[in-house]
């Protein structure tokens, strides 16, 4: 296992329409063209949030979003470096590995204005949807997958997610950062260039709030961090471990909600990616890449999935005990059979799963990884 | 508005494999054939639940479910009355409107056995998945829609849901009953005969628990039931009301999570369908039918949707203040564009919506209902 340092290079830029662009590279970043934007018009986002009084959660409204990019013709890829200046994309030509820029159709913005008083009675609380929505382009290779990144690039991505979290926390307006990748036409993905997104909230959303409360309760009752206890028990049991790289491991959790749900965890209980040292990031990156490769090889098709990176709250909401981990929800429960969220999942908040996690983990361990 | 009584007839039967079958009719129920079952084998369901310690919710495991009926060839419809005794379906021939029977592939059963101790360390709490899963066949018309039911049949369905809730509560083992319909190939529906399902839980699931807590908090702070305050404010504001039949109404709630999300509510704050009198049931039924018809006419295609019936906890968990209502989640947010639950919805528990509820309600009010 290498423990060489993981240096990376950063360049902060601004698009012609005012949006932020940050380029990250394993080598020094170099630009070979102007910084482009698909449209010169500044983003006029006025997202608002309304309170759902029965579910106790915020709902984001951004009426400009309906016109957003949707399955564009194959010749135009807004996430590729601009090759024809007459048809600018989101990214310049140059030397860089990963690019992060502000979403042109954000559900949350740092400058969201206070909504005007409506002409009608509103019947719930409404406020500015303060936060930030970013796009993370994983690679300049338009037809690749996240798991096609080199080990170094995958470790760089962990560093990028960590850096974005720190940058967003430093605004003083952000309390929780969620990085995710949604992949597959089956689940509505409109751009096939490998990319993910970041949602940064000015509050701690329900899922993170629940996870934090549950982990704090565990610590109060047992005296040890939830993540440490969980990793130890999974290693002792062994039946649900997919791959163990020492400093990081992957498991099908014993309470998996999706059939082949895969969690990637660090061995050491921390709350933020930025707390991992370079060796831990490298091990975590190898395990993540391995997990994604296994899911693609399981049925011999590129597995549609949602991957979410769960980190501790930041800023004023920062707290110990939140278990850093990545959750991958593969949408195929069998060849050709998608999992849909129906009555019990959406109406009651409880999942029904067709297969025991021990069996799913066994299948994932046995997979022969093929290049798809 | 009619206020004639809503009588209905019931016959309790048992299938050859031991499952319960109940037939409901506006006219006296009459059987013209034996009670069938697609298979003579008794259901050997041993579902278990495991506790998700970070999300604080139960997950159901039923490994036999993976082999369940999936897009059968068009000539065989297990929900139609049996026409050929060599190929029995779930239902007999006869005079009845609505049929309810135990799901052959249940995620929850009243007799779920205590799971045996696993050979490996489990790393979470596991227990029998006690409850009940029922199938509700809305009509003998295989190609119809729920909204093709007559007004009387629609009111009967409300009576059936109410009766099932009472019957399940009377077992002494059920604490919450969720009736729902999931419609559309787009969202994984395997049988096109109009039908819904019922999940009966031995505990109050997270969504119902949150709704109850929020409504109780509102009552404690304001002194009035949440449902009464909500209906009054929606009527005063008027902009989100789709149809108002006096004793019941439909609205796009001001905090809609889906673009054309529609709620059907009674005017009088109650927690259970069984608390509605006949006139209220009839008005509620007309509003529900109207809401479904508008959604089908909105884009000129049968709208894929999830409909969930939210009722108060029952049995020992029974409590006032829970607001009875139906939520309909239409999955199309624009013609040909499905809504998918991606990072923020699944990873954070907060929805992003492209359109303000006031605009969606305006569009639904303007719809010219066509027969699709």
How many CA atoms does the CB half-sphere of A274 hold within 13 Å? 14
- Pair A260, A176 in one domain: no
Put simply, the answer to whether A107 touches B344 (Cβ < 8 Å) is yes
- Specify the DSSP class assigned to residue B218: H
- A281 burial (CB, 10 Å; 0-12 / 13-18 / 19+) is buried
Which residue, B46, B175, B209, is CA-closest to B116?
A: B46
Interatomic CA distance for residues B102 and B136, integer angstroms: 9
Residue A27 has pLDDT above 70, yes or no: yes
pLDDT digits (tens, 9 = 90+) for A272-286: 999 999 999 999 999
CA of A259 to nearest chain B CA: how many angstroms apart? 10
Interatomic CA distance for residues A272 and A161, integer angstroms: 10
Mean pLDDT of chain B: 93
Q: Which pLDDT score, from 0 to 100, does residue B4 have? A: 53
Residue A70 has pLDDT above 50, yes or no: no
Give whole-number Cα distances, A51 to A124, B235, B257, B308, B309, in Å.
6, 19, 10, 20, 21
For residue A279, give both structure tokens.
């060796």
Element (H, E) at A218: helix A206-222
- Pair B309, B200 in one domain: no
| Residue at a domain's end among B162, B187, B204 | B204
Q: Which pLDDT score, from 0 to 100, does residue A118 have? A: 87
- Pair B163, B298 in one domain: no
Q: Which pLDDT score, from 0 to 100, does residue A4 have? A: 53
For residue B124, the domain's CATH number is 3.30.428.10
Percent of chain B with pLDDT over 70: 94
Q: Which pLDDT score, from 0 to 100, does residue B327 have? A: 98
Q: Which domain holds residue B241?
A: 207-366
Residues of B in contact with A323 (CB under 8 A): 54
Complex ipTM value = 0.94
Which residue, B130, B116, B112, is CA-closest to B45?
A: B112
Residue B70 has pLDDT above 50, yes or no: no
- Pair B219, B163 in one domain: no
Give the pairing type, strands A57-61 and B351-353. Answer: parallel
| Residue at a domain's end among A205, A239, A272 | A205
Residue B266 has pLDDT above 90, yes or no: yes
B242: CB partners within 8 A, 6+ apart: B249, B250, B251, B252, B262, B290, B291, B294, B361, B364, B365
Q: Which pLDDT score, from 0 to 100, does residue B232 have? A: 97
Residue B320 has pLDDT above 90, yes or no: no
Query: What pLDDT band is residue B3 in, cutting at 50, 70 and 90?
Result: very low
Query: Residues 8..47 of A with a Cβ closer than 8 Å to B: which?
Result: none
- Pair A39, A183 in one domain: yes
Mean pLDDT, range B106-114, rounded to an integer:
95
Residues of A in contact with B180 (CB under 8 A): 342-343, 347
Report yes or no on A354 lying in a domain. Answer: yes
- Pair B219, B113 in one domain: no
Using the Cβ of B103 and the Cβ atoms of chain A, whether some distance falls under 8 Å is answered with no
Query: Residues 255..314 of B with a Cβ closer than 8 Å to A: which?
Result: 255-257, 306, 308, 310
pLDDT digits (tens, 9 = 90+) for B270-296: 999 999 999 999 999 999 999 999 999
Query: What pLDDT band is residue A188 in, cutting at 50, 70 and 90?
Result: confident
Mean pLDDT, range B301-323, rounded to an integer:
91
Using the Cβ of B327 and the Cβ atoms of chain A, whether some distance falls under 8 Å is answered with yes
- Pair A153, A243 in one domain: no
Report yes or no on A75 lying in a domain. Answer: yes
Q: How far is CA A154 from the centre of its chain?
A: 13
Number of domains in chain B: 2
Put simply, the answer to whether B60 touches A344 (Cβ < 8 Å) is yes
Report yes or no on A292 lying in a domain. Answer: yes
| Residue at a domain's end among A162, A182, A205 | A205
Angle at A285 between CA A365 and CA A250, to 5 degrees: 30
Using the Cβ of A337 and the Cβ atoms of chain B, whether some distance falls under 8 Å is answered with yes
Report yes or no on B4 lying in a domain. Answer: no
Report yes or no on A371 lying in a domain. Answer: no
Q: Which pLDDT score, from 0 to 100, does residue B160 have? A: 98
- Pair B46, B35 in one domain: yes
- Pair A325, A251 in one domain: yes
- Pair B122, B238 in one domain: no
> Do B184 and A342 contact (CB within 8 A), yes or no?
no
Q: A185 or B204, which is more confident?
A: B204
Report yes or no on A64 lying in a domain. Answer: yes
CA of B277 to nearest chain A CA: how many angstroms apart? 25
- Pair B217, B320 in one domain: yes
- Pair A223, A189 in one domain: no
Mean pLDDT of chain A: 93
Put simply, the answer to whether B52 touches A342 (Cβ < 8 Å) is no
Residue B326 has pLDDT above 90, yes or no: yes
Query: What pLDDT band is residue A315 in, cutting at 50, 70 and 90?
Result: confident
Report yes or no on B372 lying in a domain. Answer: no
Report yes or no on A4 lying in a domain. Answer: no
């Amino acid at each position: 296992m290498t423990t060489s340092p993981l240096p990376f290079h950063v360049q902060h830029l601004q698009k012609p329409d005012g949006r932020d662009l940050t380029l990250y590279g394993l080598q020094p970043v170099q630009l070979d063209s102007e910084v482009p934007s698909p449209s010169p018009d500044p983003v006029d986002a006025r997202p608002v949030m309304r309170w759902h009084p029965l579910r106790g959660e915020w709902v984001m409204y951004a009426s400009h979003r309906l016109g957003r990019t949707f399955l564009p013709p194959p010749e135009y890829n807004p996430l590729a470096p601009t090759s024809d200046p007459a048809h600018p994309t989101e990214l310049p030509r140059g030397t860089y590995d990963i690019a992060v820029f502000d979403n042109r159709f954000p559900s949350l913005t740092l400058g969201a204005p206070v909504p005007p008083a409506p002409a009608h009675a509103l019947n719930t609380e409404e406020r500015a949807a303060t936060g930030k929505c970013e796009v993370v382009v994983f690679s300049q290779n338009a037809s690749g997958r996240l798991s096609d990144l080199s080990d170094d690039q995958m470790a760089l991505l962990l560093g990028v997610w960590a850096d974005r979290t720190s940058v967003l926390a430093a605004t003083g307006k952000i309390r929780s950062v969620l990085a995710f990748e949604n992949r597959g036409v089956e689940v509505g993905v409109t751009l096939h260039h490998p990319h993910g997104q970041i949602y940064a909230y000015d509050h701690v959303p329900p899922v993170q709030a629940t996870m934090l409360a549950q982990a704090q309760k565990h610590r109060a009752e047992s005296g040890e961090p939830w993540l440490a206890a969980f990793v130890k028990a999974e290693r002792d049991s062994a039946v649900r471990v997919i791959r163990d790289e020492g400093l990081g491991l992957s498991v099908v959790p014993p309470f998996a909600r999706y059939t082949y749900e895969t969690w990637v965890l660090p061995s050491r209980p921390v709350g933020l990616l930025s707390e991992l040292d370079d060796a831990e990031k490298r091990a975590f990156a190898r395990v993540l890449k391995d997990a994604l490769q296994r899911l693609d090889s399981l049925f011999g098709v590129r597995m549609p999935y949602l991957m979410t990176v769960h980190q501790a709250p930041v800023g004023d909401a920062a707290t110990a005990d939140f278990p850093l981990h990545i959750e991958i929800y593969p949408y195929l429960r069998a060849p050709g059979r998608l999992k849909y969220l129906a009555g019990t999942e959406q109406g009651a908040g409880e999942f029904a799963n067709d297969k025991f996690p021990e069996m799913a983990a066994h299948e994932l361990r046995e997979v022969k990884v093929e290049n798809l």
